[in-house]
Structure 1
Amino acid sequence: MTRKAFFSFHYQEDVWRVFNVRKCWAIGKDREADGFFDGSVFEASKKESDEALKAFLRDGLKNTSVTCVLAGRHTAARRWVRYEIVRSVLKGNGLLTVDIHGLRNNKQVLGVKGTNPLDEVGVYLANDKIYFAERKDGKWVKYSDYASAIPASELWFNAPTSNTVVKLSKHCLRYDFAAQNGRENIAGWIETAAALASR
């Protein structure tokens, strides 16, 4: 069966580095990538409305089983990366972070390692219901782009048992593309994330 992965990233900052990762993933049988939409399509959806962009991103996640967050310096703070992460959890996708700061951009400049985006989104229990949270200005707040409660049955990891936020990174692995030979290993990392989520 073909493994279809969704790649979440900060377009303006990291697109050159991301396409280097995409090339590695595309080499090999039974692999397809999504999330690599043209920047102009993304910007056009953004101009329509937030709801139009959300629908566009949800559509991009269809038929995928793993979401790979390609993290650069500013990725963790990006609103739409966080939305892709939350929707991935709701969909049951496996999740992983791959740091790409060790790759050069189109000016041959290396990046700066950023915060793990999966450290900035979490889940917590309130009034016997589970909700998403995100870090803003150093504090955990209820996630505003998806405020509904999450059934525990929809989580592939253990549900939170208190109002203390559990970061998604607790359940997901993080890799360094340059330092850990991502060219050879990214397919295995994605398969591990799929296995953790029973996908």
Structure 2
Amino acid sequence: MARKPVFFSFHYGNDVMRVQQVRNIGALEGNTPVSANDWETVKRGGDASIKRWIDDNFKYKQCVIVLVGQETHTRPWVKYEIEKAWSDGKPIFGIHIHNLVCPRNGKGLKGKNPFEQFAFNDGTKLSSVVSCYDPNPNDAYKDIAENMEYWVSQAIAQRKK
């Protein structure tokens, strides 16, 4: 099976090491990790530069995966990426990553579902149509590795409805 190109959305500061574990699974073709130095360069360009970087990296991606850590739901650029994915018609879903062990600080606290804070005009929450998976705490890495391709396929099928 060909690897599907995806965009990973996450809180860089808190979760980059957990995100690297997900990227290393290798089942998907994710956006190239940006180094801390490159991200600082993008940030120095201000909001317009960050939006341009996100928009450029969204191109040709089949799905957006929000990797949910403790503070992900509060991050303004994650919110922008969720809104952009939905408005662009891209399939999107989340995966809680708090149970992946970070070498610096171990397991994290479970973050809020970031899709809860978005609502349609009728008041229905985005979380009612966008999945946010919480992998098995006993072996979160294995659960993610075994299910990520399926979750992408599910998000694509759901978005086509």
TM over 0.5: yes
Structure showing greater radius of gyration is 1
Q: In the alignment, which of 63, 69, 73 is matched to residue 72 of structure 1?
A: 69
User: Does 1:23 pair with 2:40?
Assistant: no
In 2, are the aligned partners of 1:7 and 1:36 still within 8 Å (CA)? no
AA aligned to 1:173 is S
The aligned residue for residue 38 of structure 2 is 41
AA aligned to 1:177 is P
AA aligned to 1:6 is F
Q: Tell me how far apart the structure 2 counterparts of residues 55 and 110 of structure 1 sit (CA, whole Å).
A: 33
Moved over 6 A (4+): none
Greater strand fraction, Structure 1 or Structure 2: 1
Q: 1:28-63 CA deviation, whole Å, 9 max, x = no partner? A: xxx311163223222211111111111111111110
Q: In the alignment, which of 117, 122, 129 is matched to residue 120 of structure 1?
A: 117
User: Gapped runs of 5+ residues in structure 1?
Assistant: 125-161
The aligned residue for residue 156 of structure 1 is none
The aligned residue for residue 130 of structure 2 is 172
Greater helix fraction, Structure 1 or Structure 2: 2
The aligned residue for residue 154 of structure 1 is none
Number of matched residues? 156
Shift of 1:198: 2.2
TM-score w.r.t. length of structure 1: 0.73
AA aligned to 1:167 is K
The aligned residue for residue 149 of structure 2 is 187
TM-score w.r.t. length of structure 2: 0.88
RMSD value, Cα: 1.8
User: Gapped runs of 5+ residues in structure 2?
Assistant: none
Gap change, CA 1:74 and 1:198, over 3 Å in 2: same
The aligned residue for residue 159 of structure 2 is 197
